[in-house]
């Protein structure tokens, strides 16, 4: 499974897609990039006349690349266009070190810690273009493939 196939299986779209490309992927870890668009809606409010990428958006970018893209890669043999994963963020613990300004390109590097019983837990870090550490932490989520989606809907 390649870069574009993984991104096409992501359950996000503009204006809440924070993945441009993936440059390294294996079942143990993943590396990807995103450039924050200067005209992103959140810069209008965060902060007044002083646009800085919100920490929650940095966390989201780390989760989309580090957890969801990695999860899709790990589950690639069970997925298709009609059988997409359901994802839920279940915990994040992130420390922030440097601000990210509009237009900056970041690199997200994620290493799998555990993937068992549908739960994926990763160590994730974000670097800026100067290779400086922007933020890092541990992010976990549940990845569920709705193999019997039709049946479960009927039950409800």
Residue 33 annotated to the active site: no
Q: Which residues neighbour 40 within 8 Å (Cβ) at sequence distance 6 or greater? A: 15, 102
Taking the complex as a whole, the smallest distance from the CB of residue 114 to another protein amounts, in Å, to: 7
Element (DSSP H or E) covering residue 114: strand 105-116
Taking the complex as a whole, the smallest distance from the CB of residue 86 to another protein amounts, in Å, to: 12
Cα–Cα distance for residue pair 131/125, rounded to 1 Å: 11
Nearer to another protein, 56 or 88 (CB): 88
Q: How many residues does the chain have?
A: 156
Distance of CA 25 to the CA centre of its chain: 13
Taking the complex as a whole, the smallest distance from the CB of residue 153 to another protein amounts, in Å, to: 19
Nearer to another protein, 47 or 117 (CB): 117
Nearer to another protein, 23 or 91 (CB): 91
SS3 112: strand
Residues that bind another protein (CB under 8 A): 88, 90-91, 114, 116-119, 140-142
For residues 51-65, b (16+ Cβ closer than 10 Å) or e, as one string? bebeeebbbbbbbbb
> Is residue 109 within 8 Å of residue 123, measured between CB atoms?
no
Taking the complex as a whole, the smallest distance from the CB of residue 119 to another protein amounts, in Å, to: 4
Nearer to another protein, 2 or 93 (CB): 93
Residues designated as active site: 46
């Amino acid at each position: 499974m390649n870069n574009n196939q993984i991104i096409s299986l992501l359950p996000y779209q503009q204006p809440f897609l924070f993945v441009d490309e993936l440059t390294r992927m294996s079942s143990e870890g993943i590396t990807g990039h995103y450039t924050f668009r200067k005209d992103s809606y959140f810069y209008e409010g965060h902060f007044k006349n002083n646009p800085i990428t919100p920490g929650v958006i940095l966390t989201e970018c780390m989760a989309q690349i580090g957890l969801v893209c990695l999860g899709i890669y790990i589950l690639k043999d069970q997925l298709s266009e009609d059988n997409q994963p359901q994802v839920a963020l279940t915990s994040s613990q992130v420390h922030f070190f440097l601000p990210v300004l509009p237009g900056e390109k970041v690199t997200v590097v994620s290493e799998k810690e555990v993937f068992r019983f549908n739960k994926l837990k990763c160590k994730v870090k974000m670097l800026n273009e100067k290779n400086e550490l922007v933020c890092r932490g541990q992010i976990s989520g549940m990845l569920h493939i709705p193999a019997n989606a039709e049946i479960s809907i009927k039950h409800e």
